[in-house]
Structure 1
């Protein structure tokens, strides 16, 4: 049995420091929906959606999200920040299934990193209620889930 599978092993995120910001700013699905609709018209985006799910990314992902499993995030913070900064991203929106674990932790870590760089223009936000809240909000939201599979998300 691998140490990560041992019953008393620490969770993956214990290998990294806890975020200083334990309550990062959040953004509602309604706000994100408006941003997606607006930015689809202009094609110029100043935000990026990051899906933090690893094995459970099955079932779909919010349109135009990038998938970056939370387990690989912490060591990548400097590179991600540099890429987002070079791309004029002003809002990074993190989510997982519910955005209560991985989403909040990632938003906190990235917020800590942005502040350590002295950057006051880039915001790290967690999507309230995550993907489950998104798909449960109705057809207008589900229509913006790429490769949507209700069964994989526990909806029948």
Structure 2
């Protein structure tokens, strides 16, 4: 079990922002953008890259993580199961980017391109 101060972005986890046309208000620093619309056929490539990098957790998110985030985590989880891989977890960022912003200033500071006006209207 990893302690919180031992968790390393890009090694222990990968954040994947699934938004495409609604990619507004910023994105969590260090995440990669892979729109959900193109994800399913890219799963083998994502798997190979994650496995080769030794990443232990893939955390999927969209605006709320109730649609795309959940689907992506399930698709990748199914792919991992089919491969017999139990060393990688496919996770959902609870409440997505909206939930991240609601977490407060320490979370907002980690959003590249943060647009305060956008989030006030949400």
TM-score, normalised to structure 2's length? 0.90
Q: Distance in 1 between matches of 2:41 and 2:57?
A: 20
Paired residues for 1:91-106 under 5 Å: 91-106=57-72
Give the CA RMSD over aligned residues: 1.9
Rg larger in 1 or in 2? 1
Q: Distance in 1 between matches of 2:119 and 2:40?
A: 26
Quick check: 1:39 aligned with 2:8? yes
User: Could you say what secondary structure the match of 1:57 adopts?
Assistant: coil
Q: How many aligned residue pairs are there?
A: 119
Which residue number in structure 2 is paired with residue 137 of structure 1? 103
Q: CA deviation at 1:150?
A: 2.0
1:89-121 deviation line (CA, Å, top 9, x unaligned): 110000000000000000000000011000010
| Consecutive unaligned residues in structure 2, runs of 5 or more | none
Paired residues for 1:2-151 under 5 Å: 38-39=7-8, 45-151=11-117
Q: 1:38 to 1:110 in 2, by over 3 A?
A: closer
Q: Which runs of 4+ in 1 moved over 4 A?
A: none
Q: CA deviation at 1:59?
A: 1.2
TM-score, normalised to structure 1's length? 0.71
| Consecutive unaligned residues in structure 1, runs of 5 or more | 1-33
